[in-house]
């Protein structure tokens, strides 16, 4: 995972934030990687946050790793990143086509992997690759602060990843 803040730390000259934002726009325009803004109640706070990087195609993550499917699944941390990226790629491609707005959310140590919105509908999505409790602290904190119409757990003991990916994003935004 590449952190926008760490990239900035490597580039100390003036104007690097603008340059990195421009590069991220170019990568998004090429259909490779986009930066998800942090969800906040107001636009100014969204713009001030560091983006979460998301691939549009998970092949960008796996093409050079050299692992077989069995090896990738055996590495729980890597598999978790792949599952989260697959869900994120599905959402990012829908957002790119105008089906929704896509964000992430984090406050302190509480986070929600993806927030999707369309009109007044808002949905929090937590992605897990293994067995987990149905309620997560980040999802609960987000729900209390922003009152989404839905919260979803994808993977683990929630919605099967295959089922989630087989539906258009608009399906998950329906009340």
Task: Read off the pLDDT of residues 57-72 as tens digits, 9 standing for 90 and up.
Answer: 988 888 888 899 999 9
d(CA 85, CA 83) in angstroms, rounded, equals: 5
Per residue in 72-91, pLDDT tens? 999 999 999 999 999 999 99
d(CA 162, CA 28) in angstroms, rounded, equals: 25
- For the chain, the average pLDDT equals 85
Domain ranges of the chain: 4-173
Question: Residue for token digits 């900035």?
Answer: 8
pLDDT confidence of residue 44: 56
pLDDT confidence of residue 14: 55
Confidence band, pLDDT 50/70/90 cuts, at residue 94: very high
pLDDT confidence of residue 64: 83
Does 173 score more than 60 pLDDT? yes
Confidence band, pLDDT 50/70/90 cuts, at residue 153: very high
Show the tokens assigned to 34: 């986009």
Alpha helices in the chain (DSSP H): 4-10, 16-29, 43-47, 59-62, 69-74, 76-96, 137-146, 161-165, 169-173
**Quick check: 96 and 56 in contact, CB under 8 A?**
yes
d(CA 122, CA 40) in angstroms, rounded, equals: 12
Per residue in 119-145, pLDDT tens? 889 999 999 987 766 668 899 999 999
**Quick check: 172 and 150 in contact, CB under 8 A?**
yes
Give which of 59, 90, 108 is closest to 152, Cα–Cα: 90
Give the alpha-carbon dihedral of 133, 137, 140, 144, to 10 degrees. 170
pTM of structure: 0.85
Give the dihedral sign, CA 171/130/60/63: negative
Q: What is the DSSP string of 96-113?
A: HTTS-EEEEEEETTEEEE
Confidence band, pLDDT 50/70/90 cuts, at residue 157: confident
Per residue in 12-52, pLDDT tens? 555 666 777 777 788 777 878 888 999 987 665 555 678 89
Question: Residue for token digits 């919605």?
Answer: 159
pLDDT confidence of residue 39: 95
pLDDT confidence of residue 30: 80
**Quick check: 159 and 140 in contact, CB under 8 A?**
no
pLDDT confidence of residue 1: 45
């Amino acid at each position: 995972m590449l952190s926008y803040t760490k990239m900035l730390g490597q580039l100390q000259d003036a104007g690097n934030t603008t340059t990195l934002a421009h590069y991220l726009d170019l990568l998004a325009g090429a259909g490779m990687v986009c930066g998800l803004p942090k969800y906040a109640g107001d636009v100014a706070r969204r713009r001030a946050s560091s983006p979460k990087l998301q691939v549009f195609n998970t092949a960008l993550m796996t093409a050079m790793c050299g692992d077989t499917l069995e090896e990738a699944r055996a590495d729980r941390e890597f598999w978790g990143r792949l599952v989260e990226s697959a869900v994120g790629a599905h959402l990012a491609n829908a957002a790119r086509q105008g089906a929704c707005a896509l964000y992430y959310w984090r406050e302190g140590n509480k986070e929600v992997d993806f927030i999707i919105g369309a009109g007044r509908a808002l949905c929090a999505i937590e992605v897990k690759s293994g067995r987990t409790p149905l309620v997560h602290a980040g999802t609960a904190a987000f729900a209390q602060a922003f009152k989404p119409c839905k919260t979803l757990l994808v993977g683990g003991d929630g919605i099967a990843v295959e089922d989630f990916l087989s539906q258009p994003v608009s399906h998950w935004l329906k009340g």
